[in-house]
Amino acid sequence: MIKPGDVISYLEMCQTEGVNLQRGMNFRLHSGYSLILMSVRKGAPYADVIEDNGRVLTYEGHDVPKQGYDINPKVVDQPMINPSGTLTQNGLFYKAATEAKKSEKRTEPVRVYEKIHSGIWVYNGLFKLVDAWQETSNARKVFKFRLELADDLENVDLQLGEVDHSRLIPAQVKLEVWKRDKGQCVVCGSKDNLHFDHIIPYSKGGSSLVAENIQLLCARHNIAKRDRIE
């Protein structure tokens, strides 16, 4: 069962979700939740932002598709409605956020995956969609979505296991650790079933905020270590 901090390949991510993920925004991917793919790496296509040590995300909406357009998607407004009249993914997420705010309906649960390397992703956990708006960026309108860690969502039909949000590792720390450890387990060199591990466990006062206390371990060595300080 996937847990926050697990590092997986694109194929493993698709297998986990049971679909071939071809877009970053996936409203109601399954009956119980939506899903987004994000990145804060240099050169990422959208201006996603991670704040409050990973507890708050500002996710940028998506552009018109490149196919069928003779102009650069980055110079036109991000669309709310498809040519057919249906809502785009931007529109669906925007509607869910605004309706929840107005009527106090259950906040939309959203699973978040973050790209940290070509073909490599980390599961950031379950968030809730709390706000949406449009703003002007480089002379065009873009969508912005605010997501917060889902500490209080109730009756969410997800097989996620227990999520310990206090252990969240900021994006810049994950990127630094991935580069330093060369994308492999520091014990055996395995590149499969990796997990971001606290060297000094969080439960014993270890920090999630510095790369010096985070390492990559494969599943076997992560389980063997558990909460021991080595």
Res 213 pLDDT > 60: yes
- pLDDT tens per residue, range 161-202: 434 444 578 778 888 999 999 999 999 999 988 988 888 887
Q: What backbone phi and psi angles, to 5 degrees, belong to 179?
A: -70, -45
When computed from its CA atoms, the radius of gyration of the chain, rounded to whole angstroms, is 18
Contact call for residues 91 and 80 (beta carbons, < 8 A)? yes
Res 67 pLDDT > 90: no
Rounded to whole angstroms, the Cα distance separating 48 from 65 reads 19
User: Which sequence spans correspond to the domains of the chain?
Assistant: 6-163, 175-225
String of b and e for 160-173 (b: at least 16 CB within 10 Å)? beebeeebbbbbeb
What's the CATH code, domain 6-163? 2.30.280.10
Confidence of residue 152 (pLDDT cuts 50, 70, 90): low
Please give the structure tokens belonging to residue 106. Answer: 């259950």
Note if the pTM is more than 0.85.
no
Only one residue has tokens 């698709």, namely 14
Res 58 pLDDT > 60: yes
Residue 159 pLDDT: 46
